Amino acid sequence: MIKTQREIALMREGGKMLAVIMGDLLREVKPGVSTNFLDEQAELKIRKAGAVPAFQGYEGFPKTLCASVNEEIVHVIPSKRILKEGDIVTLDLGLIWEGRYLDMARTVPVGKASKEALALIQVTQRSLDLGIEQARPGKTLGDIGSAVQKYVESKGYGVVRDLCGHGIGKQLHEEPKVLNYGEQGKGLVLKEGMVICIEPMVTEGDWHLKKASDGYGFQTKDGSLSCHFEDTIVITSKGPEVLTKS
């Protein structure tokens, strides 16, 4: 669970690489673009950088990128689906660099989205920031979950309970589970050298989910919009360091 300085250095390199690739992909999001196209670009950019797609083949996942649109929450397989003006799309992407995994996600509007959609995106992004602020030695996983939950619910949105963040390193999903809800002071005490993914998944309506139409991903049960942000974080003596930043 605790990473060495060498491991953290490698993950810092990989995280910067992933953040640059994600930034490039987000600039490709526009009306008329297919999620398959975004997936192809993701794989091309990861392999060109000398890294390996983290999701390809993971538990049978056939693609490089997860591309979830509107009511879809996470893990949706890219397809011929064409993005339309006013959609919102979540790009969830991971890579392997020198045997270490990195993972991040962003939700963006496709062209001009509604005020309601933009507000959902803003709240979810802010909830991630608030969760990250709690990722300090001596704090707990409950502190992270509580910070996310209280903010999101104060804005009238729902926090997905059935999916969560995770530890990361030599594997994509390691212990501990990082919930997006909880009680302050409860749960595992955070220590210097831990690397975790914090990833709020927020819904405009009810937080309950169901399988998406592709049979792999998840979407909101009530059909309401969903939003997802994720970063890979290392806990240091000086506080949280976001590894997935350019």
pLDDT reading at 75 higher than 90: yes
- Look at residue 246 in the predicted model and tell me its pLDDT: 92
- Look at residue 64 in the predicted model and tell me its pLDDT: 98
Q: The domain containing residue 80 runs over which residues?
A: 5-242
Q: Mean pLDDT throughout 219-238?
A: 98
Report in angstroms the alpha-carbon separations of 234 from 16, 150, 194. Answer: 13, 23, 6
pLDDT by residue (tens digit) across 156-175?
Answer: 999 999 999 999 999 999 99
Report the distance separating Cα 82 and Cα 63, nearest Å.
17
Q: Per-residue confidence at 13, pLDDT binned at 50, 70, 90?
A: very high
CB contact at 8 A, 62 and 217: no
Dig out the tokens for 54 from the structure: 């983290």
State the Rg of the chain over Cα.
Answer: 17
Tokens 């083949």 appear where?
57
pLDDT reading at 183 higher than 90: yes
Q: Per-residue confidence at 1, pLDDT binned at 50, 70, 90?
A: confident
Which sign does the torsion angle of CA 8, 179, 122, 221 carry? Answer: positive
Q: Mean pLDDT throughout 217-246?
A: 97
- Look at residue 231 in the predicted model and tell me its pLDDT: 98
- What's the CATH code of the domain at 179? 3.90.230.10
pLDDT reading at 77 higher than 90: yes
Q: Per-residue confidence at 23, pLDDT binned at 50, 70, 90?
A: very high
pLDDT by residue (tens digit) across 82-101?
Answer: 999 999 999 999 999 999 99
Dig out the tokens for 69 from the structure: 């649109």
Q: What is the pTM of this model?
A: 0.97
Determine the residue type at 17.
Answer: M
Q: Chain-wide mean pLDDT for the chain?
A: 97
Report which of 186, 189, 195 is spatially closest to residue 137, judged by C-alpha positions.
Answer: 189
Q: According to DSSP H, which parts of 134-217 are helical?
A: 141-154
- Look at residue 125 in the predicted model and tell me its pLDDT: 98
Contacts of residue 189, defined as CB under 8 A and 6 or more positions apart, other chains included, come to: 138, 139, 140
Q: Mean pLDDT throughout 98-110?
A: 98
Percent of all residues in the chain with a pLDDT value above 70, rounded to a whole number: 100
Total domains, the chain = 1
Determine the residue type at 122.
Answer: Q
pLDDT by residue (tens digit) across 124-133?
Answer: 999 999 999 9
Determine the residue type at 119.
Answer: A
Q: Mean pLDDT throughout 134-139?
A: 98
User: Could you give the 3-state DSSP secondary structure of residue 15?
Assistant: helix
